[in-house]
Amino acid sequence: MSKLEFLVSEFQRLYGARPEHIARAPGRVNLIGEHTDYNDGFVMPIAIDREVLIAARPRHDRLVCITATDIAGSPHDEFSLDAIKPHPQYRWANYVRGVADQLQQARSVLRGMDAVIASTLPTGAGLSSSAALEVCTATILQAFGEPRFDGVTLAQLCQRAENDFVGVKSGIMDQYAAALGQADKALIVDCRALTYQAVSLPRGVTVVVADTRKKRQLVGSDYNTRRAECQDAVALLSQLLDKPFQALRDVSLSDFNGVAAQLPENLGKRARHVLTENERVEQAARAAQRDDAVEFGRLMNESQTSLREDYAASSPELEMMVALARQQTGCLGSRLTGAGWGGATVNLVREANVPSFIQALAQQYQSRTGIAPWVSPVRASPGATLVK
């Protein structure tokens, strides 16, 4: 039984009828450009063929009743659209509640609904299951409400839900990819201008995701600390260079190098990662446009070094997964994807070597850690839609 068939079956079991609409929103893998989004920089994600699905039917009252089938015990949440407050126990429910709250603040007229959630995304892997849930929630709520916002607006509303309601100060990349992804293409996103360019990936290679099964939790983690460090670095660089910088994106690498020794060590390292990572995104975009998979992979490897040494965002499990991947025939590049401190790696692998790469990486990682990883090829896929 497919996940979609399972979702419909569960909906019928719970509500005694078929759903009226089903929405889907993909997870994402960021190929390069980590921790640059909230610094107004550049990122290069792809939406992937793993997704969150929500089946729903409208209600005649203002109550939202929703069950999460992929969480132990299939927890159920109910809340009124007229009194949206954080759930005291279920974090997943706050993503749903936060999106409904933001849509209504944007003057969307919503209806209550009965709904069931299912997912083909591993949670905690850094594949942005939270943004997929947000964007999928917005898509299904809009199916029963009005007006319907465009993808950019929807991504911004979902980001605000995560920032203000859930309490994770995420950048725009995850929601942008979930809402606006394109089949077989990466998005080069300017996170300040909120503009993007779609670019085809180099031919003859496949993106493979390897989940370490080391879960990560963004609320209360080092993620918010890194954001604060970047803001502190901007303030100090503005003083040292006598320029009113808005974000690290505004600082040139040459200017930074001239005063880096005057920064506290941690702030200097964080800033250096962001500045060099922005350059790597632009270089990777040019490599993709000229179909240079080898150069693209080299830049991914450089990114991982910077994330480990300057941003301190890696973990022992991630380092092991990366090292093992690079030992496999056909692997051109490997790095962590998502915020880090656990989660998954993204690997660029020659198509002919993908089956042996997946088998060897999974076996070798498990033999060293005792943990069975999730290793799978992914394809760049379209953003959120209603399922016909």
CA distance 42 to 188: 7
Pairing verdict, β 374-378 and 385-386: unpaired
Beta bridge mates, 52: 25, 119
Q: Is 77 an active-site residue?
A: no
Which candidate in 101, 174, 211, 310 is catalytic?
A: 174
Catalytic residues: 174
